[in-house]
Structure 1
Amino acid sequence: MYPISTRSAALLGAAWAASLATHAAAQNDASGPTNTETNAQEQDSNDIIVTARRRSESAQDIPLAVSVIDAKQIDETGAFNVNRLQQLAPTLQFYSSNPRNTAVNIRGLGVPFGLTSDGFEQGVGIYVDDVYYSRVASATFDFLDVAQIEVLRGPQGTLYGKNTTAGAINITTNQPSFDFEGRAELSLGNYEFRQARLALSGPLSENVAARVAFSGTSRRGTIRNLTTGQDIQSLDNLGVRAQVLWEAADNLKITLVGDYNKQDANCCGSVFVRTGATQRPLNRQFAALAAAQNYAPPSDNPFDRVTDLDSQLNAGNVIAGASLRLVWDIGPGTFTSVTAWRYWDWKPENDRDFTGLSIVALSQNPSQQNQYTQEFRYAYTGDTFDFVLGAFAFDQRIDTQGTEAQGRAASRWNIAPGNALSLDPTVLDGLTARNTQSLESTSLALFGQLSWKVTDAFTIQPGARLNYDRKAGFYQRRVFTGTGAELTGTETDARSRAQLAVFQPQVSSPEDTDWNLTYDLTLSYELAPDVLAYGTYAKSFKTIGINQNGLPTDANGQPIAAAGTIRPEKVDHFELGLKTRFWDRRATFNLAAFRTDIRDYQATVNNGQFGVLRGFLANAGKVRSQGIEADFNIRPSERFTAYASGAYTDAKYVRFVDAPCPPELAGGTTATAGQTPSAPGTPGGISPANCDISGQRLPGVSKWAFSFGAEGNVPATFLGKSGEAYLGYDGSYRSNFSSNPSPSAYTFVDGYHLSNFRLGFRSDDGLNIFAWVRNAFDENYFEQLFVGPGNTGLIAGLPGDPRTWGATASITF
């Protein structure tokens, strides 16, 4: 057991002890309905209440594609973070090689797939109790005391503070109560998995209530690093959230919230998967380079789950913040003010050559973010008209201090074998790039949406948004040799030129501003009681982006200044939907068909050089995502429930004629006018300067995705308590998807199916004990595949979790 796990285990034990101590007090508290009891009442009526449109409504009554996951489903399926949430929501895609390099997409859209740049916006907005989390990396926390999660699909810019082009994840936590209540949970499992969660709420005075929640998770890693003797891809997460509610008047509530989350995992690594032929000369491809250094990967079977990474790994992540929410009920409407500050501190260490050789000896880009937001919103509800009017201000500052260093094996790997310098390890050993980056981003918006009930059955819902954005960045790379001498980029000797071929000094200060006016229109009609049809058109946008990781260079090695900024995305979204309830509302069946066209799509572009640029942003001509989604739920009685959700998504580049080439078409001599590029994977061949990938699939999205499950229960008595014994199953399936921005034959992830089971007992007074197994059939699958740097043909991967099992006990009081 590792020290970090010992620390977490102590915290978990303390939380469980606290929960037992408080349970006795709860038995004597004659309290009114708790949050849990209120949720149960809503479930008994087979009606799910959401706040997707900034007011409480039935999910079946709103003309919007939304998936709702309640606290019970989150807790019992082990979906304790956004990554695991995608198994319950087939239109959601989550990919992460580490917290910073995380993508959350809906319908294949949101953020470009690949290494993350701070210079672009995310297309999927993440909100926790009305507070916007600007970077996906700052939302990789464990869910803490969550009441409900709503996954909204399609543009949401006329309802939410920050513009979102693909959708939003709206997370609602349990609020402070004036009746004493609480919940405690402890889970234990294989891989030394330990998780404890505790929430307590109650009054501090007649008009002040508080709620405190704690979560701790630890698990040893699932991949063995033979070089260090450690298990990597571990978990060590700690989260605390505190809320104080002041009912200042009968119609005025003020809530102060503070949270702190820390992650300290031995993470994040990869395993060797395979090699694929590129167009590099044969003696510069992986097999020849590895043989020249007497190197072989520890296993050619990635599901042996072994690696030999020789660089230090770390994924230190601190996420914290505070918010002040004021809700003022003024007659027919409600005024809401949300003032928030968010902080993110990222301390990574990586092995970017994916091998046990010291090629890239150091790769780390620590970042610190401070974010301030202010949202004002007025929501009115009337007999004929409902509307929401809002104003939003956002200010963000990100600072990054990057260090990348070459190791003793770098000369052989990066300098052509025919060059005598390739045999001298001192040429590149210790060559270091020190990168300084900063970003200042400001966004201001006015937004609103109106619902006009033309008749009892027919509603017209227009919306509009006016947005202003400003981004200003700074990037500087200074290059130092192993002896500490700084290179200016003007050196002409052979040794210096070999070093400058790996790292070039560079300075850039991209800056831009932009105004956007967008709008949407939804028409809905109640065809019959509990049958709602709707159609939506949205004209949306994603604002300007800037290249924060350095600029691409021209043939002379000079930065291309015009690449400093990228144009906004222009989004046209169409959707038709049908929402139905039948069998006395025991069953629901919803359909949605959509098409989203994006011009000037903001794509991630990668080149194959070590350290020069890992990736930058560029505009693709046009992309399209279209498909059909279906959701079915049935609850014929209190003894049985079942659900099934499915999505067909056809997401592709409509036009991208100058994209980077996949590895099998890269690495050779660049074709000149009149030359025909060689066939894919021809060693020493002729490579196109760019590739036309029009018509090919967008990365990260499966054409077919399904989630399905059921639970049955029977009356039972256990430990002298009456209740129900239950058996539950949750399954998910995703077809294959591309794991590279330019589709490659080497980086398609095969489709996979996961099955999770649980067996347990729930008492009538709040006790829940169950055993669980996840990935029950031990499916071998990848979360991502990576193209190794240098275009040597190396493909590395991140295997998904193997079979895990354990038990959970919780008590609600």
Structure 2
Amino acid sequence: MTRTAVSTTALAAALIAAAPAWAAQDAAAEPAAETEGEIVVTSLRRTETLQDTPAAVTAFDSQAIANAGIERPADFIALTPNVNLIETQNAGNAFVIIRGITQNRNSEPSVAVIVDGVQQVNPAQFNQDLFDIAQIEVLKGPQGGLYGRNAIGGAIIITTKAPTDEFSGNVTAGVDNGFGYYVRGGVSGPLADNVKFRVAGSWYDTNGFIDNVFLGEKADPVEDFSLRGNLLIEATDQLTFDLRASVNQLRTQGLYYNIVADVNDIADVEVNNPGQNDRDIYNVALKIEYAGDNAVFTSVSSYDTLKEVLTGDAFDFKPIPDSFFFNLFEFLFGPGNGFDLNQSQYLNVKAFSQEVRLASPEDGRAFNWMVGGYLIDTTRFISTGNMIDTGNGVFPVFRSPSTNPLNPQFSYLADGQENFAWALFANAGYEFSPEFRVDASLRYDRDRRRQTTLTPPAFLPNVPGVPQAQSGEVRTAIFDDWQPKITLTYEPSPDVTLYGGYSRGFRSGGFNQTGVGAEAVNNNIVGVGDIFQAETADTFEVGAKAQLGPVRLAGAAYTTKSENSYFFVFLAQSSTQNLGNIPATRINGFEIEASAEIVPNLDVNAALGYTDSEIKDFADASVIGNEAPQISRYTINLGAQYAGPLSDSVDGLLRVDYRRTGKTWWEPFNTTVRDPIDIVDVRAGVTLANGVSITGFASNLFNEIYNAEFSPGGFVFRARPRRFGFEVGYKF
């Protein structure tokens, strides 16, 4: 049987199985906000029960977040079928892979991330600590009409805890085997009539978990500080002002890669430079809402800055005497006649975004609608390069090549970008009867990108037969597309929801650094140029939801045609991280989930997510028919939790989560595939009547050792091994 036939058969089987027994989410998660036992979500920009929502949504409320020990995005993504997170050496690079829609360095995200109604404008903002969170929703499938920019794979909606009318708060302190310690929490209360505040923060300090056998220390120490403030002014019964500000400062090490032929090969970290990875993020946002009798007006303004410096060892990440370049001329002159390299990258991004929308009130009317507009203005500077490693450590390089004699510059590229994007959108839904509803949306996005080459002439690549880049050269490109979506919903009974529809997702293209196209030609690399094209994804999906007594069943099946999806190429000559395009890919998949309350307070869950991808077109014909990069064949989730009373004054928690991630491919040529990964997490604790809780935890309980990332050229990044510890919490 051919690969296409297998994919079609699997998809057909999933569609048949999607009869009334399927539901749309999440067996692995606890209920989100609940009203009289019903799970309530807002991910479709209207408040409705999860049972009635015609989309695949996974939701976690604050209690579920605490029970599962969700502290970072990787934690809730691990509980969501058909969604993966690839964590990398860069603190700001964590790639969400959702239903086969991938993400890479310097690309736009694969999902729209909305925090308290404000869309994150930079993918480097996503991988931060989660604290004082009220709810998390993961919405799968293209959502351009609802969330627009970068919602090609779906949307992640994070809601922090709101200011309260009475003074209250929470604090949690813990230790782990890093040796590390952390403190996080928040306080809230009134400041005056109709004025409330909330302040929350987090601090984490650890020596790390991965050994650097050459330096005799940990390779991954972390100091992570976050602070967030919220001021809510209810000026009238109809008018509110919601002002928010946040800061995140991260200090860690980086570039402790290994070079292997097979992604399953595990090697010791032995870089001679510990590296430096510092990231600073600042955000301020204002949301204004006026709720009229016939329409609700919302304005969201946001300003963000991000700076990240990354420096450390370069290829092949060995101590100087053992390094490749240091012994490059060994065959002529003997060992030690070359020179070792280190590398540095500097990123500085500033962005202002504005969204306005007008929507119908949520008053149960049969017809609801929303219209609006969005704009974002972004300024970005990036420099990358290699320096000669003289054994005197590494030094950051910012907006100009190094003049430090201890850190002589070997290669250097720098670019500035000015990007302006805008969009118009409209949504409408009509309930023809209590059983049948139609929702439709349309969005137009236009993104103008302007790049200026800031590389000094002496460092520009010069390849014979390829046009020479020039310092000060300005290039512009415009990427635009329409994003339609239509969904039909049929509810034959209150406990069964069937839905299906079509949607298109769009993700803007952009610029690689000037000169990498010439370098790629010089190295016989196809599909990579100075510009990478915009990606579109057309998806057809069917799904169903059912509530059968204490049992929830869930499912959805989909087929997606992706055009110009990304793949990653690292060019060692300039230490640049570049994107190429795969012209056409077909992705078929499904999710099946079930959960049940076996006895009071004892819940079990199971979920299977399956993804089959096939490259249909590529510049090198040998790639056609291969798996698309970064996609895992399947995910399996199993879990059980008891959360209930142990006595009249003590509640107990015991939770076990198992996740299996199937085979994962990493680049178009499929030269290596990672074997399945099995991870078990456990938590156990008690909560006393006075609000004090004591909890022990273990992540990756059985210490599965594997590589979290593989990049072309054999670059691998070790995943974190077992982490365990305990924490004490208090609510007041």
Q: TM-score range by the shorter chain?
A: 0.7 to 0.9
Deviation (angstroms), 1:507 = 6.9
Equivalent-residue separation in structure 2 for 1:223 and 1:649 (angstroms)? 31
Equivalent-residue separation in structure 1 for 2:574 and 2:318 (angstroms)? 19
Q: Which residue of 2 aligns with 1:709?
A: 639
User: Which residue of 288, 303, 311 maps to 1:326?
Assistant: 288
In structure 2, relative to structure 1, the CA distance for the partners of 1:777 and 1:55 (3 Å cut) is: same
1:367 and 2:347 matched = yes
Alignment of 1:606-645 (within 5 A): 606=570, 610-612=572-574, 614-645=576-607
User: Which residue of 701, 725, 731 maps to 1:806?
Assistant: 725
Q: Indicate conservation of the 8 Å contact 1:182/1:200, yes or no.
A: yes
Deviation (angstroms), 1:773 = 1.6
1:162 and 2:149 matched = yes
Q: Indicate conservation of the 8 Å contact 1:604/1:741, yes or no.
A: no
Deviation (angstroms), 1:43 = 4.3
Q: Indicate conservation of the 8 Å contact 2:618/2:624, yes or no.
A: yes
Deviation (angstroms), 1:324 = 0.5
In structure 2, relative to structure 1, the CA distance for the partners of 1:716 and 1:617 (3 Å cut) is: closer
User: Which residue of 116, 126, 129 maps to 2:113?
Assistant: 126
Deviation (angstroms), 1:44 = 7.4
In structure 2, relative to structure 1, the CA distance for the partners of 1:368 and 1:724 (3 Å cut) is: same
1:730 and 2:630 matched = no
Deviation (angstroms), 1:534 = 0.4
* Unaligned stretches of 5+ residues in structure 1: 1-38, 277-299, 410-428, 480-485, 492-496, 659-690, 789-794
Q: Indicate conservation of the 8 Å contact 1:511/1:546, yes or no.
A: no
Q: Which residue of 1 aligns with 2:679?
A: 754
Q: Which amino acid aligns with 1:355?
A: K
In structure 2, relative to structure 1, the CA distance for the partners of 1:602 and 1:802 (3 Å cut) is: closer
* SS of 1:159 mapped into structure 2: helix
Q: Which amino acid aligns with 1:237?
A: D
Q: Which residue of 1 aligns with 2:25?
A: none
1:783 and 2:702 matched = no
Q: Deviation string for 1:204-232 (max 9, x for gaps)?
A: 01111100001111222222223333211
1:473 and 2:392 matched = no
Q: Deviation string for 1:612-655 (max 9, x for gaps)?
A: 46443333220122101122222355421222222001123122
User: Which residue of 65, 72, 76 maps to 2:56?
Assistant: 65
Q: Which residue of 1 aligns with 2:554?
A: 590
1:107 and 2:87 matched = no
Q: Deviation string for 1:354-379 (max 9, x for gaps)?
A: 22236453311111111111111222
Q: Which residue of 2 aligns with 1:684?
A: none
Deviation (angstroms), 1:787 = 4.4
* SS of 1:84 mapped into structure 2: helix
Q: Which residue of 2 aligns with 1:743?
A: 670
* SS of 2:564 mapped into structure 1: strand
Q: Which residue of 2 aligns with 1:93?
A: 84
In structure 2, relative to structure 1, the CA distance for the partners of 1:558 and 1:581 (3 Å cut) is: closer
In structure 2, relative to structure 1, the CA distance for the partners of 1:558 and 1:110 (3 Å cut) is: closer
In structure 2, relative to structure 1, the CA distance for the partners of 1:249 and 1:803 (3 Å cut) is: same
* SS of 2:622 mapped into structure 1: coil
Q: Deviation string for 1:197-256 (max 9, x for gaps)?
A: 121000001111100001111222222223333211222211000001111001111111
Q: Which amino acid aligns with 2:686?
A: F
Q: Deviation string for 1:241-277 (max 9, x for gaps)?
A: 000111100111111101001110133423455579x
Q: Indicate conservation of the 8 Å contact 2:489/2:500, yes or no.
A: yes
Q: Which residue of 2 aligns with 1:448?
A: 426
Q: Which residue of 1 aligns with 2:366?
A: 384
Alignment of 1:533-552 (within 5 A): 533-548=498-513, 550-552=515-517
Q: Indicate conservation of the 8 Å contact 2:272/2:318, yes or no.
A: yes
Q: Note the aligned Cα RMSD (angstroms).
A: 3.1
Equivalent-residue separation in structure 2 for 1:624 and 1:653 (angstroms)? 7
Q: Deviation string for 1:705-757 (max 9, x for gaps)?
A: 0222111245334xxx7032232111111012023343113xx2211111111
In structure 2, relative to structure 1, the CA distance for the partners of 1:437 and 1:642 (3 Å cut) is: same
Q: Which amino acid aligns with 2:347?
A: S
Q: Deviation string for 1:144-165 (max 9, x for gaps)?
A: 3111111111111101152421
Q: Which amino acid aligns with 1:727?
A: L
In structure 2, relative to structure 1, the CA distance for the partners of 1:515 and 1:753 (3 Å cut) is: closer
Q: Which residue of 2 aligns with 1:249?
A: 236
How many residue pairs match? The answer is: 665
Equivalent-residue separation in structure 1 for 2:709 and 2:534 (angstroms)? 28
Deviation (angstroms), 1:133 = 1.5
Q: Which residue of 1 aligns with 2:205?
A: 218
Equivalent-residue separation in structure 1 for 2:374 and 2:666 (angstroms)? 35
Alignment of 1:190-229 (within 5 A): 190-229=177-216
Equivalent-residue separation in structure 1 for 2:192 and 2:304 (angstroms)? 29
Equivalent-residue separation in structure 2 for 1:105 and 1:655 (angstroms)? 21
Q: Deviation string for 1:63-108 (max 9, x for gaps)?
A: 1111112223333333311123321112222113212443222112
* SS of 1:633 mapped into structure 2: strand
Deviation (angstroms), 1:442 = 1.0
In structure 2, relative to structure 1, the CA distance for the partners of 1:639 and 1:515 (3 Å cut) is: closer
Deviation (angstroms), 1:542 = 2.1
Q: Which amino acid aligns with 2:57?
A: V
Equivalent-residue separation in structure 2 for 1:646 and 1:95 (angstroms)? 19
Q: Which residue of 1 aligns with 2:565?
A: 601
* SS of 1:355 mapped into structure 2: coil
Q: Which amino acid aligns with 1:48?
A: I
* SS of 2:147 mapped into structure 1: coil
In structure 2, relative to structure 1, the CA distance for the partners of 1:804 and 1:539 (3 Å cut) is: closer
- Work out which of the two has the higher radius of gyration on C-alpha atoms and give 1 or 2: 1
Equivalent-residue separation in structure 2 for 1:568 and 1:307 (angstroms)? 37
Equivalent-residue separation in structure 2 for 1:704 and 1:490 (angstroms)? 44
User: Which residue of 141, 144, 148 maps to 2:131?
Assistant: 144
Q: Indicate conservation of the 8 Å contact 1:232/1:268, yes or no.
A: no
Q: Which residue of 2 aligns with 1:10?
A: none
Q: Deviation string for 1:98-137 (max 9, x for gaps)?
A: 12443222112142x4xx23xx422211111121212221
Q: Deviation string for 1:575-605 (max 9, x for gaps)?
A: 001011120xx33111100111012334334
Q: Which residue of 2 aligns with 1:296?
A: none
User: Which residue of 506, 515, 534 maps to 1:568?
Assistant: 534
Equivalent-residue separation in structure 2 for 1:521 and 1:477 (angstroms)? 47
Q: Which residue of 1 aligns with 2:688?
A: 763
Q: Which amino acid aligns with 2:517?
A: P
Q: Which amino acid aligns with 2:665?
A: S
Q: Indicate conservation of the 8 Å contact 2:518/2:529, yes or no.
A: no
Q: Which amino acid aligns with 1:368?
A: N
Q: Indicate conservation of the 8 Å contact 2:152/2:536, yes or no.
A: no
Equivalent-residue separation in structure 1 for 2:638 and 2:293 (angstroms)? 43
Q: Which amino acid aligns with 2:667?
A: N
User: What is the TM-score of this pair, normalised by structure 2?
Assistant: 0.85
Q: Which residue of 1 aligns with 2:67?
A: 76
In structure 2, relative to structure 1, the CA distance for the partners of 1:796 and 1:471 (3 Å cut) is: closer
Q: Which residue of 2 aligns with 1:664?
A: none
Identity of aligned residues (%): 25
Q: Which residue of 2 aligns with 1:48?
A: 39
In structure 2, relative to structure 1, the CA distance for the partners of 1:267 and 1:570 (3 Å cut) is: closer
Deviation (angstroms), 1:182 = 0.8
Q: Indicate conservation of the 8 Å contact 2:495/2:548, yes or no.
A: yes
Deviation (angstroms), 1:430 = 4.2
Alignment of 1:430-441 (within 5 A): 430=408, 432-441=410-419
Q: Which amino acid aligns with 1:90?
A: P
* SS of 1:176 mapped into structure 2: coil
* SS of 2:67 mapped into structure 1: helix
Q: Indicate conservation of the 8 Å contact 1:93/1:108, yes or no.
A: no
* Unaligned stretches of 5+ residues in structure 2: 1-29, 326-339, 392-406
1:403 and 2:369 matched = no
* SS of 2:414 mapped into structure 1: strand
Q: Deviation string for 1:374-430 (max 9, x for gaps)?
A: 111222145220122221111111112333224479xxxxxxxxxxxxxxxxxxx94
Q: Indicate conservation of the 8 Å contact 1:552/1:560, yes or no.
A: no
In structure 2, relative to structure 1, the CA distance for the partners of 1:558 and 1:192 (3 Å cut) is: closer
User: Which residue of 672, 686, 697 maps to 1:772?
Assistant: 697
